[in-house]
Amino acid sequence: MRIAMIGTGYVGLVSGACLSEFGHEVVCVDKDAGKVASLRAGGIPIFEPGLDEVVAANVKAGRLSFETDIAAAVKGASAVFIAVGTPSRRGDGHADLTYVFAAAEEIATSLTNYAVVVTKSTVPVGTSRKVEEIIRKANAKAEFDMASNPEFLREGSAIEDFRRPDRVVVGCDTDKAREVMREVYRPLYISETPIVFTSRETSELIKYAANAFLATKITFINEMATLCEKVGGDVQDVARGIGLDGRIGSKFLHAGPGFGGSCFPKDTLALVKTARGMGAPSQIVEAVVAVNDARKVEMAKKIETAFGGVKGKTVAVLGLTFKPNTDDMRDSPSLVIVPHLQAAGATVRAYDPEGRKEASKHLTLDYCDNAYQALDGADGVVILTEWNEFRALDLAKVKTLLKKPLMVDLRNIYRPAQMAQAGFRYISVGRADAGT
């Protein structure tokens, strides 16, 4: 099957590469000629473990190619995926559909045969209908059906998520469209992946509802962490105790500095705006958005308190991206915490294994080449992102490098008793402080 993927961002590039791995002929389209040239030369614009290998293998096999011309990509395609960005619109928080609608216009004039046009981007309920209207208005003779096929990829593990998804959700209205989409995902039948067919509106809502629910779990355990600190509880034991309940589950019950990334902040806000606009406000999700925003400020203040004030002090920060195994800085807690510390008079030195390039677009600070360089001469260290290489630091070396043996671990990757034994004053999230 020939597939056109409009957009080579995170969703488009990962989806296109993985679909080509399934055996389809995939053409990925981007307006940026420089980006396309780089992709053709083997350059990967994002950090995602394993993506470079999948792209290279399928380009070599002739199943994956890159284009700037939508018409060339769409010609002969059985499915045309729209996978462009839908950032939060400035001013009101609604999803900005400018790129989606622009892609629809170009697809309309490029369709020469029957195809299923698929919204892969995360879009508000009703967007698929609007895209259909745009295409029919621009090309009344176009033969096509619409489908909604939201992605559920986790940054850092996106390749395996695509290969072995929990489910595939497809919203469409015709048997012909369903057959095309079944063929797109036919390789997954081998692993008995459930394919959930729904209406388009339901499919669009499933994506937002799923992300809002997961964001709620994170926010809930963060609030329990604060309560644990007040009553002498241990949030990790609380998470384990409730997570073993099959009705709750253990995933997304990890206390920390608040959620960030390309999905949760944007999607929860878009759902809030959509729900209010439809006269069915989601008060739970509204609370999640507010609590998560406040959480990041609270964590900055927690660091200040741990340091006994940060004015005139050097704070070593390990990790800047919103999560490990990605270079994504979008809505990362560091974008709130670091400026707060700087405004309070701190000098911030930071190291992130992959995020330096993206972080430097947003944060002005002293960037270091490794963790120990960041620690050297600092008044204490803060762990903001749980990269694997931070899980087994040489604590004896860390202690000699720091002016004071102080660690604020906002990801709970060390054990309080271990840190106390190593001679550290150790502050984590939702657990008793350790050391003196």
263 flagged as catalytic: yes
CB contact set of 290 (below 8 Å; sequence gap of 6+): none
What token pair was written down for 127? 């967007």
Q: How far apart are CA 278 and CA 280, in angstroms?
A: 6
Residues in the chain: 436
Distances in Å between the Cα of 16 and the Cα atoms of 44, 162, 178, 238 are: 13, 10, 20, 40
Strands 2-6 and 168-172: unpaired
Residue 154 per-residue DSSP state: P
Tell me the torsion sign for CA atoms 154, 252, 289, 362.
negative
Q: How far apart are CA 130 and CA 101, in angstroms?
A: 8
What token pair was written down for 120? 């892969």
The residue type found at 319 is G
Sheet with 366-367, edge to edge strand ranges: 366-367, 347-351, 314-318, 380-383, 406-409, 425-427
Q: How far apart are CA 188 and CA 171, in angstroms?
A: 18
Residue 97 per-residue DSSP state: -
Question: 329 and 262 in contact (C-beta within 8 Å)?
Answer: no
Beta-ladder partners of 4: 27, 80
Burial class (CB in 10 A: 0-12, 13-18, 19+), 201: middle
Strands 168-172 and 144-148: antiparallel
Distances in Å between the Cα of 288 and the Cα atoms of 69, 259, 295, 368 are: 41, 10, 10, 34
Strands 79-82 and 2-6: parallel
CB contact set of 378 (below 8 Å; sequence gap of 6+): 314, 315, 316, 349, 401, 402, 403
Choose, from 18, 28, 172, 263, the residue flagged as catalytic: 263
Which residues are catalytic, by number? 263
